[in-house]
Amino acid sequence: MDSSKSLVLKGVFWNAIQLIVNQGFAFIVKLVLAKILLPEQFGLIGMATVFTGFVSVLTELGIGAALIQKKEDQLTSAHYSTAFWTGIAWSALLYGIMAFAIAPLAAKFYNEAILEQLIPVISLGILLSPINLVNRAQLSKQMNFKKIARIESTSNIVAGIISILLALWGAGVWSLAFNSTAIIVFAIPFYFKATNWLPKLSWSHKAFKDIFGFGIFATGTNVINYFVNNIDYLLIGKLLSAQLLGSYSFAFVLTDTFRSRLMAVINNVMYPLYGKKQGDPDAMKRYYLKVVSYNCVIVFPVMLLLFILAEPFVLHIFGSKWENSILPLKILSASIMIQMLVNSNTVLIRALGRPGLELKLQMVKAAVYIPALVFGIYKYGIVGASWAVLFSRVFNVLIAQYTFNYLITVKVTTGELFNEIKGSVFATLFSFIIGSALLNFFHVNFLIVGLIVLLVFGLSIYKLMGDELTAHINFMRSKRA
C-alpha cells in the first residue's frame, strides 16, 4: 500500500512540474510571439489546427493506452515492436491525407493559399509523434514520470526559444508552425535514451490483435470526446456570432482549462496505477475515492471564487466588452464542481480493460448532450449552451453511479461518494454564504472578498480533514527522508 501511495505522490509531483513548466513556458512564448507577430498570422495557425487537431486524435490508435493497461506478463517484445511499426505506418497514411487532400481543401475553404503549405508542416507532428509513443508508454507503465517531465519540459523550452529566434529573424507564421513540430522532434533522442529500447524489425499479427483490439475502442472514445468537446464552439459560431463565441470561449477557458490541466496531471498518474491494480477492485475503489476527494479540495475553491466574483472580476479586470461572459462563467463554474465528482471515472473503466464500455457510455452521454446543446443555443444563446453543459454533467454523475452499481467490478455507492466529498461540499457552502453576504450586502471590495473566501474554505477544510491531510504530509516527509 505504502509503495503504491509513494508512486502516486511522486507521479503527481512530477506531472505537476511538467504541467507548470510546459504550460507556463508555452504561455510566455505565446506572449512574446504575439508581441512580434501579427494577429493574422495567429489566425492562420488557428485555421490550420481546426483540421490538424481532429486528425491528431486518430494518430495513436489507442496504442499507448493499450500498452499501459495490459499487465507486464501479457506483453512481449513483439507487442512493443508491433506497436511501434503500426504507429509509424498509420501516421504516414494520415500525413499523406493531410498533405495531399486536406491541405488543398482547407486552402479553398478559407481562401488562404498559404494553408496548402502550412498544414503539411504542422502535420509533421502527426507523422513523427508515434516515434515517441512506445517509449513514453513504457515510462508511464513504470510510473517514471520524472523522466517524462524532464524530457518534455526540455523539449518545450528548446523549441520555444528557437521559435522566438525565428520570429525575430522574420520567419513570421512559420515560427509558430515550427514550435508544435519541434517539441516532438527534440524529444525523440531523449525518449530512446531514457528507455534504452529499440524496435526490432518484426511485426506480429497476434500482437497487433491484442493491442488494436483494445486501442480501437480507445480511439473511438477519443474521437467522440473531440467532437463533443468542440461542437459547442462550432454551433455557436454557426448559429450566433463571432462576438458571442468569443464571450463563451472566454468563460470556458477560465473554467474548463484549469480543470483539464489538473486532470491531465492526476489521470496520467492514476491510469497506469489502476492498470497495475485491476485485479484488486477494493484497492481501485480506495484510490478512486481519494482522487475524487482531493480533486474537489483543489478545484472547488477556484470555481467558487469564479461563481461569486464573476461580475466584478470580469468588469474590473477585462472590461465591459466581456459582459456577456458573466452569466456563462457562473454556470460553467458550477458545472465544473459537478464534473469533479466523476472526472476520473472513464480512466478507471479503461484501466479495467473495458474500452468498449467506455465508448458506449461516451456515445450515450453525447446522445443526451448534443440535443440539449442545440436546443439551448437556439432558445437562449450562449447562456443556453452553458446550461446544456451543466445539465450534461449532472447526467454524467448519474451514468457514473449506474456504471459502478451494475456494469463494472469496482463498486462505489452514492453514500460512499458523498462521504468522501462532504468536507469540500460543506466548506464550499459555508464559504459561499460568507462571500455572497460580504459582496452583496456589505459591498466589500471583491479582491478582499476573494481572499476571505479562500481563507474560510481553507480553515473549514482543515477543520474537517486536517488529520487526513497531516497524515499525507507526514508520509511524504518520511519518504523524502
Q: Does a structural domain hold residue 220?
A: no
How far, in whole angstroms, is CA 113 from its chain's centroid? 33
Pair (305, 163) in one structural domain: no
| Least confident segment among 186-190, 226-230, 251-255 | 226-230
Kindly report the pTM of this predicted structure. 0.67
Pair (58, 133) in one structural domain: yes
Mean pLDDT, range 23-51, rounded to an integer: 60
Of 448, 430, 461, 459, the closest CA to residue 309 belongs to 448
| Least confident segment among 61-65, 310-314, 390-394, 466-470 | 61-65
**DSSP 8-state assignment for residue 253:** H
Strongest mean pLDDT among 183-197, 300-314, 346-360: 300-314
Mean pLDDT, range 18-42, rounded to an integer: 58
Q: Does a structural domain hold residue 418?
A: yes
Q: Which residues contact 273 (CB under 8 A, 6 or more apart)?
A: 4, 7, 8, 11, 143, 287
| Least confident segment among 47-51, 91-95, 165-169 | 47-51
Pair (164, 268) in one structural domain: no
Domain boundary among 153, 173, 203: 203
Pair (172, 289) in one structural domain: no
27 vs 261: CA distance, rounded Å: 13
Q: Does a structural domain hold residue 216?
A: no
Q: Does a structural domain hold residue 218?
A: no
Q: Are 178 and 24 in contact (CB under 8 A)?
A: no
Pair (173, 256) in one structural domain: no
Pair (189, 256) in one structural domain: no
Q: Does a structural domain hold residue 293?
A: yes
Pair (157, 238) in one structural domain: no
* Cell matching residue 428: 464550499
Look up the domain containing 40 and give its range.
1-203
Residue type, 238: K
Average pLDDT of the chain?
A: 79
Q: Does a structural domain hold residue 447?
A: yes
Pair (256, 194) in one structural domain: no
At 203 the three-state DSSP class reads coil
Q: Does a structural domain hold residue 384?
A: yes
Dmax (CA) for the chain in angstroms is 73
User: In this predicted model, which residue has the larger pLDDT, 441 or 464?
Assistant: 441
What pLDDT sits at residue 1?
44
Q: What's the Cα-to-Cα distance from 107 to each of 103, 178, 387, rounded to whole Å?
A: 6, 19, 36
Query: In total, how many domains does the chain have?
Result: 2
Q: Does a structural domain hold residue 210?
A: no
Pair (109, 177) in one structural domain: yes
Pair (428, 348) in one structural domain: yes
Q: Using one digit for the tens of pLDDT, what is the confidence trace for 237-265?
A: 667 765 777 678 778 777 876 676 666 66
Pair (324, 235) in one structural domain: yes
User: In this predicted model, which residue has the larger pLDDT, 8 or 274?
Assistant: 274
User: In this predicted model, which residue has the larger pLDDT, 151 or 72?
Assistant: 151
What pLDDT sits at residue 298?
84
Pair (270, 383) in one structural domain: yes
